[in-house]
Structure formats: structure tokens, C-alpha cells
A and B are shown apart, each in its own frame.
Chain A
Amino acid sequence: MALKYLGSALLIVLWTGVGPVSAQTATTELDVTVGHSTDQVEAASSQVRIFGDAIAGWRYYFEGTWAQTWGPTSDAFGSAYPYDKRVHPMEMYGEKTSQFGPYVAGVRVGRYRTPFGIYSRTDHAYNGLLRAPLIRYGAYWALSNNFLEGGASVIAGVPRLFAEASLGVPQDEDLHSRRHGLDRVVRVQGAVGSIIVGASHIRTLPSEARAFARGRAEFTGVDVRWMHEGVQLRGEWIDGRPFNGTRTFGGYVDAFVHRPVMGPVTAVLRAERLDYLAGRASSFPRRYIAGARIRLSTMLVGQVNAVHEYGYRGRLANSALDLAFTFSTRH
């Protein structure tokens, strides 16, 4: 816990060190989202972000969130933030990225989303898909989009092929937060033409109590993105164990289609699976989502998802319609 607010401390240091001739900048963003799902879930959330340039090429980033759902337990709207009626600090870090001839190197220090696979906030938050991938939702025995690291991450390589390594401790903002201990994450990313491929590995501690979950959690994943003429395909496949004696594997494929003729509409599709192997507790959920993100104005986006899912242990197949509106402003 001592490192929980390392990010804020770093930001204060960077901020107070800013001199009158520095390249200091500050951008503030506010997002407010309201949503309704036919799963009898209502949701409201807000996020505040402050980011910009600090000194000597360093940049800072801070994000806080508050979100709440009303209704039965559901993963609806939980794509990138915890919906638990509390204010959470999310990412708080300073970073510097430099290029030396053909080489790129960077360091990020503070509190940041676990750099595993497709992990950045904007990869998942209100991008048209209103639920986190099964393999990235904390309750489903794998990773969570709300996993955060407190520590340092470095990247090194050339822009089209670099490695990222993170060493820190878990600082998750998730109902299924990991136990404390040392976290190691490594990731390699390469880009060839329009294809971007990554491979990641994490060795961390389980989310469950020590008496129930022995050993370490360990996952390996591959991720691919491809984009051409307004069509983006992306996906991840993750395999590993949340703790000894179990195995979780699965993945998802997303499509985002935004052709000129579609104007403000981006069509979104997702197909995904997750297999949790734990004897009688095993579960094999499958989910398919079709929907759209519609830019209603420069500050208002509507999102609608038709969801069909089945295969959860002890639950019937379910179909739902999720609807959300996100108001965003930036200063």
C-alpha cells in the first residue's frame, strides 16, 4: 500500500518542479456516461483526466473515476472502470519517450494499466463496446482491465519492434484485486505494414485469498491488430492459470467498421470465448456482440450493443441490449 499513491507523489514533484520557462501544458478531460441495459442494469459514471507536458521531456497523466450501477450483478458497462459507487484514482504516472536515431526508448513511472496485450484505456473504454472482453473482466478467472501496476515500465527498441517490461506491485481498482507481491510483465510488439502483433507474459499473484488460491497467477497472450481503409480488426488470445490447479484460456475478435459512407456511425462486432477449467467449477462462456458507436455531436456519443451469451456455469443463455450515452469535454 505504501506505493499506492506513488503516482500522485510523482505528479506533485513534476508539477512543483516546473519553471517559468518550461514547456508545461495541461489538458483536462471530463467524460460522463449514463447507460441502461435490458439486464435490468442502470449505470452512471464519470472520469476526469489531466495530462500534459511537464519538464525536460517528461509528461504526466492523472485519471480519476467514479461509477455506479443499479440492479443485479452484471458486467454491463464495466469495460474499463470499476462500477462500485466509489471514487478511484486510476492511472497516475510520469513518462518520457525519446528517440535516438532509429531507436526509441521510454520509461513510465507511477501507477499505470498493466501493460499486457491490448491494454490502454482508449482500447476498451467507451469505444463502442460496453462490456469488457470476458478474458479481461476480473470476475471471470483471468485478467482485468482494471488491473494497475505501481512501479516502472520501460520500452526499448525501434518504433516498429520494441519490448516493454514492467516491474511493480498490484494496485488494482477492481472487485477482484490481486494480492500484493511483486509483479513482472513483459511484452514485445512489432508492426509490419498495417499489421501490429504483440506477445505478453505476466507473472503475478492471484486475486483470491491465499487459503483458496495457491501459487502464482501466470498468463501468456498474443494480440493482433490490422487496419485498412476504415476497417479495424483486432483480437487477443490469452492462456494461463489464475492459481494452481486451474487453467483459463480464451480470447476475442473485434471488428470496427467506419467507412466514409457511414458518416458518424462506427459499426462494432465482437466474438469471444473463455474456458475456465477447475473441475466442477468449470465454466465455458461464449458471447457475441453487434452494435454501433454514433457520434451525435462533437461532445456526445451514443453506443448500442446487442449481446447474446451462453455457457456460464449455473446461468441460462441470455440476450441483452445495452445502451449508453457519453458526454465528453476537453479544456
Chain B
Amino acid sequence: MRRASIATVYLAAAVAGSSPAVLASSGADIQGVAQVGGKPQANVVVWVDVPGALTRADSKPVLDQRNFDFNPRVLAVQVGSVVEFPNHDRVFHNVFSFHDGKKFDLGLYPTGTMKLVTFDKPGLSRIFCNIHPHMVAYVMAVASPYFAVSDEAGRFTIRDVPPGNHPYQAWRSGGSTIGGTASSNSETVLAVRWP
């Protein structure tokens, strides 16, 4: 179930100056399942707080606009990430976020183009389209490179977590944020449960 633990190696301060230090190598994976009322829950964001965690190097998050919807419905990113918002419909969309979290309004832009938003502080941003009211998405910015979003079966895998016990938090749409302790030393499946 659990992959071999490998010492986590950081390229801490590898580059002097303002360039962010990058998380370069792997620890262990934390695998888990999210449930609400005993049933699998998709689109749950689970993240592990690790003091001193660095930036994940391979992150290039995208929130696509296609078929009058956002894809994915729930996107988790690390604070500081630049999210791409491409429009792949022939109609215009007007993406905005006016609630908590990052506030922005991208205006109208045509098919084949994209806009960028930097999520520079932790928290939930609720994303809407002002033209198509059915379009709703959530971007959860977390101050950790160790996060995952559950799939349709409620399963998630948080990759390359440094060895040890770490506090975790979990969020889902319409529910409260819950937390606990997750171990990357154990082969136990982390169960994230709402009543």
C-alpha cells in the first residue's frame, strides 16, 4: 500500500536571491479515502502541514472552461501558484471570484485564449462565470506542497510527504474543514470522514 520511504531531499536555498527553493525529491505517499456519511466523497481537498515545506516544482495548475463548465470542479494549489484559465468554448466566459480568498474578475476573452491568476494567500476562492450561472468551481490555496483531491471513489494520494506524523486538514464543498494527524511512516489508509 505504502511506497518505500525515501529520504526527502531539499534543494534548500539552492538558488540565492528571490527564486523560491524547490521541493526536489520524494518522501512517502499518504493514501487515504474521503467519506461523508459512510459514502465515498469526491472533490475533497486534503493537505498536510509540514513546517518549512518548500515549493513543488512541477505544479502547473489549470482550471479549464469547456462545455459551459469548469474542469476540474475543485482545484487545489500551493500558495503562490499561477493558475491558467483557458477558454475552450466558442462563447465568452466571464470568470470572477468575489467572495473569500482571491478576488478577481477576468472579463471576457475568446476561445483559444487564457488568463492567469496568482493565488497568493491561503484560503478558498469560489469561482463563477457571470454569464453562465451553472459554472461553479473552487480553488483551495494551501500553504503546503503536500495536498491531494479525492477522486470519484473518494480516494486520494498525497505524494512525497517527509517521514513523520503531520497535522492534516480536509475541506469539502458544503462541509466544515476538519483535521487530524496523518503519518507518512504508516501503511494505514488515512480515513477522512464527515458524519
Contact = CB atoms under 8 A, between A and B. Distances in A.
What secondary structure prevails in chain B residues at the interface with A? loop
Interface in B87-134: 88, 90-92, 94, 96, 98, 103, 105, 107-113, 130-134
A160 interface: yes
B6 to A, nearest CB: 35
Interface residues of B, number: 25
B67 interface: yes
A330 interface: yes
Contact of B68 (A27, A196, A227, A228): A27
Contacts of B69: 27
B24 interface: no
Interface stretch (A51-59, A77-85, A214-222, A284-292): A51-59
Contact of B133 (A51, A225, A328): A328
B136 interface: yes
Contact of A155 (B90, B98, B108): B90
A106 B91 CA distance: 13
B111 A159 contact: yes
A10 interface: no
A283 interface: no
A225 B108 contact: yes
A318 interface: no
Contact of B131 (A53, A127, A159): A127
A59 B110 contact: no
Interface of B: 67-69, 88, 90-92, 94, 96, 98, 103, 105, 107-113, 130-134, 136
Closest 6 CB pairs of A and B: A159-B112, A227-B107, A104-B112, A260-B98, A159-B113, A330-B134
